[in-house]
Amino acid sequence: MKKIILLSLLVLPYSLIAQSSASTQLPWSQRMAASMLTTNPDSIAYPRAKMARWEYEMGVLLRSYELLWYRTGDARYINYIQKNMDRFVNADGTIRTYDLDHFNIDYVTPGRSLLLLYQQTLPDKEKYRKAADLLRKQLAEQPRTKEGGFWHKKIYPNQMWLDGLYMAEPFYAEYTRLFSRDGKDFNDIINQFVWMEQHAHDPKTGLLYHGWDESREQKWADPKTGKSPNFWSRSIGWYVMALVDVLDYIPADQPRRGELVTILQRLMPAVVKYQDPKEGCWYQVTDRGGDKGNYMEASGTAMFVYGLAKGVRLGYLPASMMTYAKKGYAGMLKNFISTDEAGLIHLEKTVSVSGLGGNPYRSGSYDYYLSEPLRKDDLKGVGPFIMASVEMETAEEAGLGKGKTVGVDTYFNHEFRKGITGEQEPFHYTWEDRQHSGFWLWGNTFRDLGAKTVSVPTAPTAASLKGVDVYIIVDPDTPKETTKPNYVSQTDSKAISDWVKAGGVLVLMANDTSNCEHLHFNQLAAQFGLQFLPKNVNMVKGDQFEQGSVKISAGNPIFSHTKEVYIKELSPLSVKAPAKPVVSAGDNVIIAVANVGKGTVFAVGDPWLYNEYTDGRKIPARYENFNAGKDLATWLLKQAK
C-alpha cells in the first residue's frame, strides 16, 4: 500500500477546490471525485472498455456526484451528470445502448440521474422524463416470481439477487413519489425487500445469502430452500444501501414504511458482528474472516459504512451503531486508499464482479468468490466510498442543529403552480422546490447540520410557532403573485415579536419594490429597528453579474467563510437600535441583525439563497452564495438556544 499523502491542489485540473479557501485540504469525498474527474473527464468507462454503455456502475458513481452537488453547490458535479446522461438519452427519450427486452434490472440504476435532471430548471428536460418512463415500463413488464419478486435478469429466470434491490428500488420509489398520485406502488416496493429477506435470511448468522432461486433448478441453489451457499459482502451492501435510500421516498404516513426500518434494524446488528475487530473492514465472504484466501474488500465495507452512518443520522439505527461506521471508515482510509505520483488518490481492493450461474458458470462457492479479480478504482467501490465519505463528513457537523427546527413561511408567501402530476403545488422559496425558484439546496444545508426543516402554512401564533427555533419569512405576496394575499397584520406582528423575545430566531427576506409587499412587512420589521427602503440597488443588466456583487469584509461575524456573494435587485435597509448593520455596500445597508429580548432577527432585502443562485449553474464561481448559505445556516442555528 502506498503511503497516504496530502492531495496536491496544483496537480488537479479538475479538482473541486472548496471555495472558502484554496489551501484547505479537501474532504475525502471531494478528493476521490477530483481523481475520477481527472481520469474520466468526459465519460465513465474502464480503460480497456471499447465504449461507454448504459449500465449500473455509471449510475452508482453519478449518484455519488449528486450527493456531492447537494453538499457543495459545485455545478461541475451536476454538469458532469448531465453530460453523461446526454451521451445516452435522445430527444425522444430513447436510450442509446439500452434494450428493454433484456429485462436486465441493472439497467434501471442510472434512472436516478434522469429523475434528478427532470426536477431541475433545464431546457428540453422532457427527454429525461420520457427516458425515466421507459425504465418504469421495464419494471412494469419485468418477469417476476410467483409471489411478485422481480427476476434479476431475463437470462436468470426465477431468481432474486440482493444486488437487484439497489438496482431498481430507489429509482422505483422516487419515480412513484414524483409521478404517482395514489402511491400504491410503494406496497410493491416494500414487498421486494420483504420477500428478499424472507428467502435469503439465515437464522444462524442473521445475514442474507447472495441469491435465491424459486425454481431450485440452479446448481448453486440449495434444493430445499433455493438459497445460494455463501454470504457476499457487496451483495448485502447493495441491499443495505437500497433500504436507507428507498426510505428517503416512502412517505412518513405510508402504513408499511416501518417494515423497512425493522428489516434494517434486524440486519445491521448481524452485519457488525463480522467487522474485522482490528482493521474495521469487512471481508469478501462476510462470515469467514481469517479463512484461507479471504480478504478485506473495499466496496462492501464502503456500503456498510454508508448504511450505518445514514441509518444513524436519520434515526433508523441507534447512535451506538456510529461506532462501527467510524471504525469501518478509518479502516477504509488505512487499507484501501493509495496515492499516485501525480497526487491523485485511488481506491484499491474492490472485487470486479461476483455473480451466480451464467456462462462460464459461477457456483457461488467460497472458492468462486475468492477467484474473481480485484480492480483499482472500480466504480462499484468508488461510488459507495464517496457516498460513505459524504455521510461521515456530514456526521461531523450534524450536532449543531440536533433537536432544532427551521420553519419557512408558506402563509405570507403562498404561490402555486401546476405540478408534474397536473395538480396545483406550492412553490417559490419552499424546501421541496428543486427548481430554480426553491430553497431545496439551502434546506439540505440545514438538514446536513442536523436540523429539521418544516413549512409553516398558517398565520403565526404561539401555537403555530411552538417548536420552531428558526422562522423564515420570504418575499410576502402582492396581488400580482396571489389573488388574495395574506398581509402581515398587527396581530401577526405581535405574535412574531413575542416569539422572538422569548428566544426565537427570525429571518426576514424581502425583495425589490416591484416584487414584494413592503407596507405590512415593514410594520413587522419596525418592531426590531428595521425598514426595507423603497428603492432598489444592484440592478443587474443581462449577464453583467458584477453589478450584483456584494463584498464580505474579513472577520464578518456571520459569513466567516465567504468573501463575495451575488445579490441582485434588492431593497437596502434603514437601521436603528436595536438593529445593527452586518453587511454594507457603500451607503447601503444590505444585511442587518437585531437582538431583541432572548431572540435574534436577521434581515436582508432579497431571497438571494434560492436554488438559482446557490446551485452553481448560473452565476460565476467567484460568488460564494452556497458557502454563504451554509455560514448563515450555521449562525442561525447557533443563535437558537
Using H for helix, E for strand and C for coil, what is the string for 255-299? Answer: CCHHHHHHHHHHHHHHHHCCCCCCCCCCECECCCCCCCCCCECHH
Task: Say whether 1 sits in a helix, a strand or coil.
Answer: coil
Residue 153 DSSP one-character state: B
Q: Which of 163, 377, 448, 606 is catalytic?
A: 163
Residue 517's identity, in one-letter code, is E
Task: Using alpha carbons, select from 356, 451, 348, 346 the residue that is nearest to residue 398.
Answer: 451
CA distance 629 to 623: 12
Task: Using alpha carbons, select from 314, 289, 282 the residue that is nearest to residue 384.
Answer: 282
CA distance 446 to 301: 28
Task: Using alpha carbons, select from 264, 204, 210 the residue that is nearest to residue 232.
Answer: 210
Residue 375's identity, in one-letter code, is R
- Cβ 270 vs Cβ 201: under 8 Å: no
- Cβ 177 vs Cβ 170: under 8 Å: no
- List, in sequence order, every beta strand (DSSP E) within 439-523: 452-456, 470-474, 505-509
Residue 48's identity, in one-letter code, is R
String of DSSP letters for 199-249: HHB-TTT--B-SEEETT--STTS-TTT-B-SS-BHHHHHHHHHHHHHHTTT
Strand partners, 296: 283
Using H for helix, E for strand and C for coil, what is the string for 76-117? Answer: HHHHHHHHHHHHHECCCCCECCCCHHHCCHHHHCCHHHHHHH
CA distance 388 to 347: 13
Residue 367 annotated to the active site: no
Q: Would you state the cell numbers that stand for residue 516, as one nine-digit string?
A: 414584494
**N- to C-terminal Cα separation, the chain:** 47
CA distance 527 to 72: 36
Measured in whole angstroms, how far is the alpha carbon of residue 70 from the centre of its chain? 6
CA distances from 250 to 100, 247, 425 (A): 26, 5, 19
- Cβ 316 vs Cβ 244: under 8 Å: yes
- Cβ 148 vs Cβ 191: under 8 Å: yes
Neighbours of 543 (CB within 10 A): 10
Task: Using alpha carbons, select from 50, 44, 54, 144 the residue that is nearest to residue 99.
Answer: 54
Strand partners, 285: 232
CA distance 398 to 395: 5
CA distance 210 to 227: 8
Task: Using alpha carbons, select from 574, 568, 480 the residue that is nearest to residue 529.
Answer: 574
CA distance 206 to 264: 11
- Cβ 216 vs Cβ 226: under 8 Å: yes
Active site residues: 163
